[in-house]
Amino acid sequence: MTTVILAEKPDQARSYAAVFKQTTKQKGYITIQDPRFFKGEAIMTWGIGHLVELCLPGHYKKEWKRWNLANLPILPEQVEFQVPRSKQEQFNIVKNWLKKATTIIIATDPDREGENIARSIIKQAGVRNHVPIKRLWINSQENDVVREGFLQLQPGEKFLPMYEEAKARQVADWLVGMNASPLYSLLLQTKGVQDTFSVGRVQTPTLYLIYLRQKEIEAFVSEPFFELKANVDASGGTFQASLKQRLKTKEDVTTLLEKHGIKGKTPGVISELTKKNKEIPSPLLHSLSTLQATANRKWKYSPSTVLKIMQKLYEKKWLTYPRTESNHITQAEFSYLRKNVTGYQQLLESPFEPAYLYPRKRYVNDAKVQEHYAIIPTKKIPTASQVEKLRQDERNLYLEVVKTTLAMFAPPYKVEETKVTVDVQGLAFHTTGKIEQALGWKELFQSSKSKKKEDEQVLPPLEKGEPIQAMVKAKEGKTQPPAYYTEGQLIPLMKTAGKFVEDEEEQAILNEVTGIGTGATRANIIETLKSREYITINKNSVYVTPKGKILCEAVEGNLLSKAEMTAQWELFLRKIGQGEKDSATFISNIHTYIHRLLTDAPSHVKTMKLDTSTIDTSESAGIGPCPLCGAAVVQRGPVFACSKSKENNCKFVIVKRLAKKTLTEGMVKRLLTKGETAVLKGFKSKAGKSFSAALVLKEGKVEFDFTKKPTYRKKNRTNIKSSQAKG
């Protein structure tokens, strides 16, 4: 009997293995002897994320290797998968054990993508269908949760529709990308744009939403306006109230004041006075998206940075599974959190009398938890010194989650809100004042740096019907355009994309599936938009680049620019996941869409009027001369290529990412002009070993030169000593 456990990555496998009795680490796997869980030998092995990927177009047909409008569409009859060379060694280890397995336990991340990763590996390994498959489905890597999970494994076939759904989405995204990217790149080249464009179902609508906001800002025309402010003298003190109406001109101000006989200090009366005690509950528990938005607002962390940190804290067993869309937990999680309240309080040095030791539906709702519950602390409570040893960004995020969770048990934030209306000769001026009565849960988030909002007015004692004196003045202002999105706002923007959709059914679908993208993919989508140079971030504000604007103009009016495409996909994909629809029909519909895209896109791009001043005009000079034909070499997306490749079929190209090192424009320029570079560090072999080498051009091809010796600059020792003395 050989049980093979397939984890998603090495750290995850090591974490799982820690709960078993006898384990031995081997190359690429861990042997386990533990009769409490397994009859006979158990093998824990792992992927490195995706060990299996879709084959590139050139795998199917030679002519699909090069982008050419005549060769579109790229629609393989049957998609095939391959193992990248860099992961072949680990795949062979996994395959060897899977072929020997009498039982397979899928222990990848508990989500659709995790299911897809595992099933793709199992299928590529050629495992026979009769081998039973079980599923580990847990939301925490704590030892007791892992033990319980292995004792209560679920039948693998229960999750098979989830794999079919994920695979259908993966294939459809590949088909759209592999056709739309060359299509728009080649069409835009006919308009003089010598660049490559990446187009995708989620990244392109997201870019387009950012573009629409920027267009609105750029088209905005600021207009002056006037507000009337009343400085009010009451018997108990002074305060300020405002007229809700905005006036356009000084003449309008004068006319209105004269109409009501207001000049200098004018008598009035407190016409309305209402006081209301409010109890404000603590924030919802964090999902990944709310945590990403909060971290960006507080500390300017990017969404991808937050996800990486959360993954580390999950693997440390301090926090639960991070890639969740839920803000709720179940009764089971609430039970252990309640037991640990004192421990969390001691960690934060925040003693308070818990006000809610029973579950409230705002936070605890089994019906609203599907695959994963909200991000919360685990039962493992670190010491204060352990928290202090964390990096600052890790500490910030860990404490944010602990505080938000602990706030669920804390007393409410209580305020007395007073709304006042002042009647001055028939004009109604309004103001609101708040008095904090009890900070409650807010004390958890107080810090020495916290500042009270200056715009929160403290009102003097007032009575309804009380006479007052008011000095009314006009304050000039200007209308302001909407603000640029911040990087943290892009996550909620993607989540709420449904509000930009007109069709009510599609809007409802997007609201139900929480917008476009998933908790696991949205951060990567933002990074893709940055790496493709479609957007740029400056002081946390997001701007669409000229290249991004060109793509948005090209896809305008097409489904590729709209969130509706995701709504239509998700409706069908959900039914695949529920076993009601088949993936073959879905992929057939994608084929139909691509054929329509190939018909519609050329006519739209042809009518585009591009502002050529925004296009990079360095094409003629380029980075350097092409060694094959003498034309300019230019950067085109992930490669440096001959600018005349289309006209004279020149095939010269240098990949930007060579042996896992990114070549800079300066390196390539020296290579093209001098035929060689200096010795460069940072290359990596297929086996993962680092090496240094010079690059040389031989017959139009780039080769490594290991004979050249590195040059070292002599340091000025006197200057070093001098600087040390000064330091």
pLDDT of residue 322 exceeding 60: yes
The pLDDT of residue 615: 53
Q: Looking at residues 13-29, what average pLDDT do you find?
A: 93
pLDDT of residue 450 exceeding 50: no
Q: Looking at residues 710-724, what average pLDDT do you find?
A: 42
- Is 624:673 a contact under the CB 8 Å cutoff? yes
CATH class of 224-281+413-478: mainly beta
How does pLDDT run across 325-336, given as a tens digit for each residue?
899 999 989 999
Range of weakest confidence among 192-201, 496-505, 537-546, 597-606: 496-505
Q: Looking at residues 244-250, what average pLDDT do you find?
A: 94
The pLDDT of residue 721: 34
The pLDDT of residue 164: 93
The pLDDT of residue 448: 43
The pLDDT of residue 223: 93
Structure tokens belonging to residue 90: 């680990």
The pLDDT of residue 109: 87
The full set of domain ranges for the chain reads 2-155, 180-219+486-607, 224-281+413-478, 288-408, 624-705
Q: Looking at residues 411-421, what average pLDDT do you find?
A: 95
Work out the angle between the directed axes of helices 392-407 and 303-315 (0-180°, nearest 10): 80
356 belongs to the catalytic site:
no
- Is 622:634 a contact under the CB 8 Å cutoff? yes
Give the confidence band of 247 by pLDDT, cuts at 50, 70, 90: very high
pLDDT of residue 607 exceeding 60: yes
Is the previous residue joined to 57 through a cis bond, with omega within 30 degrees of 0? no
pLDDT of residue 682 exceeding 90: no
The pLDDT of residue 536: 92
The pLDDT of residue 717: 37
How far, CA to CA in Å, does 213 sit from each of 120, 307, 503?
40, 26, 21
Range of weakest confidence among 274-278, 410-414, 483-487, 522-526: 522-526
Range of weakest confidence among 74-83, 135-144, 427-436, 453-462: 453-462
Any idea which fold 2-155 has? Rossmann fold (3.40.50)
Query: For domain 180-219+486-607, is the CATH number 1.10.460.10?
Result: yes
Q: Looking at residues 426-454, what average pLDDT do you find?
A: 81
Q: Looking at residues 565-582, what average pLDDT do you find?
A: 81
The pLDDT of residue 689: 82
Long-range contacts: 146-154, Cβ < 8 Å, 24+?
A: 146/15, 146/16, 146/18, 146/19, 147/19, 150/19, 150/37, 150/105, 151/37, 153/105
Range of weakest confidence among 57-61, 520-524, 714-718: 714-718
Give the confidence band of 619 by pLDDT, cuts at 50, 70, 90: very low
Any idea which fold 288-408 has? Topoisomerase I; domain 4 (1.10.290)
321: Cβ–Cβ under 8 A, 6 or more apart, which residues? Answer: 109, 110, 139, 140, 314, 372, 375
Compare 155 and 145 and report the one with higher pLDDT. Answer: 155
The pLDDT of residue 11: 86
Compare 247 and 458 and report the one with higher pLDDT. Answer: 247
Mean residue pLDDT of the chain comes to 88
Q: Looking at residues 373-396, what average pLDDT do you find?
A: 94
How does pLDDT run across 54-104, given as a tens digit for each residue?
999 999 999 998 889 999 999 999 999 999 888 999 999 999 999 999 999
The Cα angle at residue 199 between residues 196 and 202, in degrees rounded to 5: 150
* Whole-number percent of the chain with pLDDT over 90: 62
Q: Looking at residues 522-548, what average pLDDT do you find?
A: 91
Range of weakest confidence among 19-23, 56-60, 504-508, 712-716: 712-716
What is residue 676's DSSP assignment?
B
How far, CA to CA in Å, does 717 sit from each of 441, 720, 721, 722, 727?
58, 5, 6, 8, 15
Compare 114 and 507 and report the one with higher pLDDT. Answer: 114
Compare 94 and 493 and report the one with higher pLDDT. Answer: 94
Structure tokens belonging to residue 202: 């989620």
Q: In DSSP terms, which residues pair with 133 in a beta bridge?
A: 104
pLDDT of residue 716 exceeding 50: no
pLDDT of residue 722 exceeding 60: no
Q: What is the torsion angle, in degrees rounded to the nearest 10, for the CA atoms of residue 381, residue 387, residue 390 and residue 393?
A: 90
Altogether, the residues listed in the chain come to a count of: 727
Among residues 314, 321, 413, 593, the one annotated as catalytic is 321
What is residue 8's DSSP assignment?
S
How far, CA to CA in Å, does 9 sit from each of 13, 118, 134, 263?
6, 11, 18, 76
pLDDT of residue 699 exceeding 70: yes
pTM: 0.77
pLDDT of residue 186 exceeding 80: yes
The pLDDT of residue 493: 87
